[in-house]
Structure 1
Amino acid sequence: MSQQVQLEATVAESQLGQRLDQALAELFPDYSRSRIKEWILEERVTVNGQIIAKPKEKVLGGECISINALIEEEARWLPQDIPLNIVYEDDDIIVINKPRDFVVHPGAGNPDGTVLNALLHHYPAIVDVPRAGIVHRLDKDTTGLMVVAKTVPAQTRLVEALQARDITREYEAVAMGTMTAGGTVDANIARHPTKRTHMSVYPMGKPAVTHYRIMEHFRAHTRLRLRLETGRTHQIRVHMAHITHPLLGDPLYGGRPRLPKGASEDFIQVLRGFDRQALHAIMLRLSHPITGELMEWHAPLPDDMVQLVTALRADTEIFKDEMNW
């Protein structure tokens, strides 16, 4: 099923110098900037009767705009009464603290039971926002903070802020091995050439930058605080594996658990029993997409990571006299 869309408007004088896609997003706030950009590239937009296929084209003000496009009806996902841990909510955004084993968006193998289905139940009007307002994702077993837009204008501005790297996202993780110093990984990421579910560092991939600093040393592991500059799929997991310090418990990039020499049976069971990547989105800071107010949220470590860190500390304490720190 396709829906015909026919729109007309006049560019305001106050929009002088704006990009065409930006101006149209303001003129037609019911449609996301990404959708408008697609229409421009598909030659569905005319300016003063002339087709303009360049989203970056500048407007002067006073131009007559016509859009004649088709919208393919998106799959209709079902609302489901799934609890959400809501940290903050207003008329424009929702911030949630996502638990482990919770997929963000329906897809192959996960047709429902996702954050998106839960959002549709919690706030039914979000059905009118593309992707139910989801602007960034966390992996199924990564816990922590996510922001969701409740309106198209909020979504458009959040996406722009992400692209401009104006949203700060910090994570806490436990990596394998003893790291000596913090640093930055600046390495492009692309889909793995043979493993469809994996990502990999690849020179021709998309730019990806991860900053990290050491929070705590353990005997054979390191607790880290990380900050994303970009938001590629599996970015932190791929980057840490790339520098030979994969995340503890990572099923895709971690390899077999590295058991410290002489570890107690109880500690070995803790390491073997931690069955997800030790990664938690602990802090989120952004300017509110509508009011512009600078806002910041924190989500404490989940219980499984608290127990993991406690066990790592106890093991380190036992062997502290043998370590040359």
Structure 2
Amino acid sequence: MLTLLYEKYKEDLNPEMKMEHMIVHRLDMDTSGIVMYAKSKKDLLKLQALFRNREEVSKSYEAVVCGHLPPEVQRGSIDLPLQRDHRFPPFMRVATPRSEREAQEVVKDLKNAGWKKIVKKKAKPSQTLFEVIAREYRCCDADTSEKGEGANGVVKSKSDKQYPVTRLRLTLMTGRTHQLRVHCASFGHP
């Protein structure tokens, strides 16, 4: 996509703008949505600052998670610090006293094995706001959507070949790697 945009607008771009300099922000893996591109360095810096400060620009995501949240839960906030999973990089995990100890042990083991430069990064505060959009059921049978029972196998009522899912609107208050996945999984709804 970026190559197509660059080829189409390269005549209008400032000479200092290279293709890789046009990207204002990115989308995570397996995420669809709008991506902004800048045509000048000045616009790029201004737009990136807006995304970084989160004052005038906000990102929200729609996610389908396993299971139904309790009926009394309609919205809330997940405030859990995240850190790199030192046993399984590049994955992230919720930071706990135990995970902090494990990280220290892994770093110590690597240094003893001859690794010279190992940095244990500190846990970072992370916050995600969530709002329930719908509680639905997803079909396990691939033929179901062809039978007119719902787009993408999603239906409103349960039968034997369906499992519960909750559709959430997620808003990042911080932007950590894998934040949405880790936060949703942390309260039992991956």
Deviation at 1:208, TM superposition (A): 2.2
Equivalent pair of 1:120/1:132 in contact (CA under 8 Å): no
Q: Residues 152 and 185 (structure 1 numbering): CA distance in 2 closer, same or farther, change over 3 Å?
A: same
**Per-residue displacement from partner, 1:10-55 (whole Å, max 9, x unpaired)?**
xxxxxxxxxxxxxxxxxxxxxxxxxxxxxxxxxxxxxxxxxxxxxx
Q: 1:177/1:148 Cα in 2 relative to 1: closer, same or farther (>3 Å)?
A: same
Query: Rg: which structure is higher?
Result: 1
Deviation, 1:156, is 1.3
- Deviation string 1:104-147 (CA, Å, 9 cap, x unpaired) is xxxxxxxxxxx444443333337715842223211232111222
Give, as a single letter, the amino acid of the residue that structure 2 aligns with 1:213. E
Does 1:172 pair with 2:96?
no
Compared CA separation, residues 200 and 130, structure 1 to 2 (3 A): farther
**146, 166, 177: which is aligned to 1:222?**
166
Deviation larger for 119-128 or 154-163:
119-128
Match for 2:127: what amino acid?
A: V
Task: Classify 1:148/1:233 alpha carbon distance in 2 versus 1 (closer, same or farther; 3 Å).
Answer: farther
- Does 2:91 correspond to 1:198? yes
Match of 1:137 in 2: 26
Cα distance in 2 for partners of 1:191, 1:178 equals 28
Q: Which residue of 2 aligns with 1:235?
A: 179
Which stretches in structure 1 are left out of the alignment for 5+ residues?
A: 1-114, 247-325
Alignment match, 2:126: 208
Task: Please give the residue correspondences for 1:177-188 in structure 2 after superposition, counting only pairs within 5 Å.
Answer: 177-180=67-70, 181=73, 182-188=75-81
- Distance apart, 1:179 and its partner CA: 0.5
In structure 2, what is the Cα distance between the partners aligned to 1:208 and 1:148? Answer: 27
Query: Structure 1 pair 231/150, CA: closer, same or farther in 2 (3 Å)?
Result: farther
Provide the TM-score with structure 1 as the length reference.
0.37
Query: Would you say 1:151 and 2:37 are equivalent positions?
Result: no
> Could you tell me how far apart the structure 2 residues matched to 1:134 and 1:142 are?
16
User: Residue 213 of structure 1: CA displacement?
Assistant: 0.6
Q: Deviations over 1:255-305 (max 9, x none)?
A: xxxxxxxxxxxxxxxxxxxxxxxxxxxxxxxxxxxxxxxxxxxxxxxxxxx
Partner of 1:160: 49
Question: Is structure 2 residue 19 aligned with structure 1 residue 123?
Answer: no
| Aligned pairs for 1:44-59 within 5 A | none
Which whole-Å CA distance do the structure 2 matches of 1:174 and 1:188 have between them?
A: 23
Q: CA deviation at 1:184?
A: 0.8
Q: Is the 8 A contact 1:134 1:149 kept in 2?
A: yes
**Matched-pair contact (CA < 8 Å) for 2:67–2:166:** yes
Shift of 1:217: 1.0
Choose between structure 1 and 2 for higher RCO, CA contacts under 8 A separated by at least 6 residues: 2
TM-score of the aligned structures, taking structure 2 as reference length: 0.60
Structure 1 pair 122/130, CA: closer, same or farther in 2 (3 Å)? closer
Q: Tell me the amino acid that sits aligned with residue 60 of structure 2.
A: E
Aligned to 2:109: none
Cα distance per residue 1:211-230 (max 9 Å; x no partner): 11101112521011111222
Distance 1:191 1:131 in 2: 27
> Could you list the runs of 5+ residues in structure 2 that have no partner in the other structure?
97-121, 138-163
Question: What amino acid does structure 1 have at the position aligned with 2:83?
Answer: A
Deviation at 1:149? 2.1
Tell me the C-alpha RMSD between the 2 structures: 2.4
Identical positions, percent: 36
Greater strand fraction, Structure 1 or Structure 2: 1
Equivalences, count: 132
